[in-house]
C-alpha cells in the first residue's frame, strides 16, 4: 500500500465524495441503527446483514434487543430458540428497510435495499432456501435476499429471481462464481420479461468478498510454505474484482457487482470510479473519512504487474479465483475461501442462537 490513513482536511467526507462524484455506490455493512444513520449521512444507499453482523448488533444494542427477546418469548411460549432468533433477525432487517425506503422509492428500486441472508445451515437445500426467500419477500418492499454462490444457492437464486425477487449472491470470492450468478440472473430476467413482467424494479447483486479472497491466498501460502512479496496478496481480491467487472461490462450483465470484506483502504480507494458498489463496515468508514487518501478515479488502474505475475505464478488458488474458467460450478462449494466462510457463518448463526438461549435461560449460578 502506497498511501497512509492520515487526517483529512476537506469539507465533504471522502465517502461522500466517492458517492457524489463517481458512479461508485457504497453501503453500510451492518444493520446497526446509528451506524446506518452515519453511513446514509455520508452517501450510503444500501445496507447488508448476516449472522455475524446480527450477533454484533445484539451486543451493541443490548438494551434494545434483550428486552425484545424476552417480550417475544413471553408472547409466544411454545416458540423454539431458533424461531425467536429469526424474529429478531427479521425485526432488525425491517428497521433498516424502513430507514432506506425513501432511497428505494426515489431510485425506482435500484438503490435503498437492505440484504438479509438465508439461514446458512440451509446451504445444501435449494428448496428450503427458496421457501425462506419467499417468506422474506413478504416483509418489506425493498428486501434483497442473500444466497450463497454455490451450486445449490445459484439454483435457488435463479428460481426466485424468475419470481421477481431481488437477490444478492454472497459467499463469493472468484470470477467464475460471479459469472455463474450473472448468467443465472440473465436467464431469470429474460424469462420474467418474456412472461410480460416488469423487471425494472429488480436489482440483482453479485458480491465478491475481496478481503476474504486476500485472506485465503495468505492462508494457502502459509500452509504450503510459499513466500510472497509483502503486499502482493493484498491485491488478490482487487484483481479478481476488476477482472470480473470487465467481463460483466463486456457481456452486458445487469447484475451489479459489490465488494465486501474490507481489510485495508485499497479495497475502497482502488475501486473509486467504477460503476460498482461497496459494502463497508462502520469502523472502516470512519477510518476512510478521517483519512487524506486522495479521492480520485482509480478504476482503470491495473493491478501492479509484478504482483499479478507473482500471484499467478506462485498461487494456484489465486488462478482458480482469477480465471473465468478457474472453477466449475460443482467446485464452488469446495473452494478454500468458500469453506472457510460457510463454516464461519454457520458458527456465527449458532452463536447467535446461543446468545438468545442465554437470555431465555439465565445462568442461576450468576447473581442477576
pLDDT in tens, 209-240: 999 999 999 999 999 999 999 999 999 999 99
First to last CA, the chain: 49
Q: How many residues does the chain have?
A: 368
CA distance 249 to 251: 5
Residue 39 has pLDDT above 80, yes or no: yes
Query: Is the predicted pLDDT of residue 6 greater than 90, yes or no?
Result: no
* Beta strands at 143-148 and 277-280: parallel, antiparallel or unpaired: unpaired
How confident is the model at residue 8, as a pLDDT? Answer: 47
Please determine, for residue 9, whether its predicted confidence score (pLDDT) is greater than 60. no
pLDDT at 10: 54
Q: What is the rounded average pLDDT of the residues 275-301?
A: 97
Q: Which three cell numbers stand for residue 291?
A: 483519512
**Residue found by looking up cell 465524495 in the block:** 17
Nearest to 49 by CA among 97, 129, 115, 133: 115
Q: How far is CA 247 from CA 4, 80, 103, 269, 324, in A?
A: 31, 46, 29, 21, 9
Of the candidate ranges 7-16, 20-29, 115-124, the one whose mean pLDDT is the lowest: 7-16
Phi, psi of 164 (to 5 degrees): 100, 10
Cα gap 114→130, rounded to integer Å: 18
E strands, the chain, where? 25-28, 46-48, 113-117, 143-148, 167-170, 205-209, 256-260, 277-280
Residues facing 115 on adjacent strands: 48, 144
Contacts of 364 (CB under 8 A, 6+ apart): none
Nearest-CA neighbor of 10 among 245, 289, 209, 354?
Answer: 289
Distance CA 258, CA 309 (A): 25
> Is pLDDT above 60 for 200?
yes
Share of the chain above pLDDT 90, in %: 95
Question: HSE of 320 in the Cβ direction (CA atoms, 13 Å)?
Answer: 20
- As a whole number, mean pLDDT of residues 177-182 equals 98
pLDDT band, residue 241 (cuts 50/70/90):
very high
- Burial (Cβ within 10 Å: 0-12, 13-18, ≥19) of residue 31: buried
Residue 207 DSSP symbol = E
> Does residue 79 contact residue 357 with C-beta atoms inside 8 Å?
no
Q: Which of 149, 183, 182 is nearest to 342 (CA)?
A: 149
362: confidence class by pLDDT, cuts 50, 70, 90 = confident
pLDDT of residue 103: 97
Amino acid at each position: 500500500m502506497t498511501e497512509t490513513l492520515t487526517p483529512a482536511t476537506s469539507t465533504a467526507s471522502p465517502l461522500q465524495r466517492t458517492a457524489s462524484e463517481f458512479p461508485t455506490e457504497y453501503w453500510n455493512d451492518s444493520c446497526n441503527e446509528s451506524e446506518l444513520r452515519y453511513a446514509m449521512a455520508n452517501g450510503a444507499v444500501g445496507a447488508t446483514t448476516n449472522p455475524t453482523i446480527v450477533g454484533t448488533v445484539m451486543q451493541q444494542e443490548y438494551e434494545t434487543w434483550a428486552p425484545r427477546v424476552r417480550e417475544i418469548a413471553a408472547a409466544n411460549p411454545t416458540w423454539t430458540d431458533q424461531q425467536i432468533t429469526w424474529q429478531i433477525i427479521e425485526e432488525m432487517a425491517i428497521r433498516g428497510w424502513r430507514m432506506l425506503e425513501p432511497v428505494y422509492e426515489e431510485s425506482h428500486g435500484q438503490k435503498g435495499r437492505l440484504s438479509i441472508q438465508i439461514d446458512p445451515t440451509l446451504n445444501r437445500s435449494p428448496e428450503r432456501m427458496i421457501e425462506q426467500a419467499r417468506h422474506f419477500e413478504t416483509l418489506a418492499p425493498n428486501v434483497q435476499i442473500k444466497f450463497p454462490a454455490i451450486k445449490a444457492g445459484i439454483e435457488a437464486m435463479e428460481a426466485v429471481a424468475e419470481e421477481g425477487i431481488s437477490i444478492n449472491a454472497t459467499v463469493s470470492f472468484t470470477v467464475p462464481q460471479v459469472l455463474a450468478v450473472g448468467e443465472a440472473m440473465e436467464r431469470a430476467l429474460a424469462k420474467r420479461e418474456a412472461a410480460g413482467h416488469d423487471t425494472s424494479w429488480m436489482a440483482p447483486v453479485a458480491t465478491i468478498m475481496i478481503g476474504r479472497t486476500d485472506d485465503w491466498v495468505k492462508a494457502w501460502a502459509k500452509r504450503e510454505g510459499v513466500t510472497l512479496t509483502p503486499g502482493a496478496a493484498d491485491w488478490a481480491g482487487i484483481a479478481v474484482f476488476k477482472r470480473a467487472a470487465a467481463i460483466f461490462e463486456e457481456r452486458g450483465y445487469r447484475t451489479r457487482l459489490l465488494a465486501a470484506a474490507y481489510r485495508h483502504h485499497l479495497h475502497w480507494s482502488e475501486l473509486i470510479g467504477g460503476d460498482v458498489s461497496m459494502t463497508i463496515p462502520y469502523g472502516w468508514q470512519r477510518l476512510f473519512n478521517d483519512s487524506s487518501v486522495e479521492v480520485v478515479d482509480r478504476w482503470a488502474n491495473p493491478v501492479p504487474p509484478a504482483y499479478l505475475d507473482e500471484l499467478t505464478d506462485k498461487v494456484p488458488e489465486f488462478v482458480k479465483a482469477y480465471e473465468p474458467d478457474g472453477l466449475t460450478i460443482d467446485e464452488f462449494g469446495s473452494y478454500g475461501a468458500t469453506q472457510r466462510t460457510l463454516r464461519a457463518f454457520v458458527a456465527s448463526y449458532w452463536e447467535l442462537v446461543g446468545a438468545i438461549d442465554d437470555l431465555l435461560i439465565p445462568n442461576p449460578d450468576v447473581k442477576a
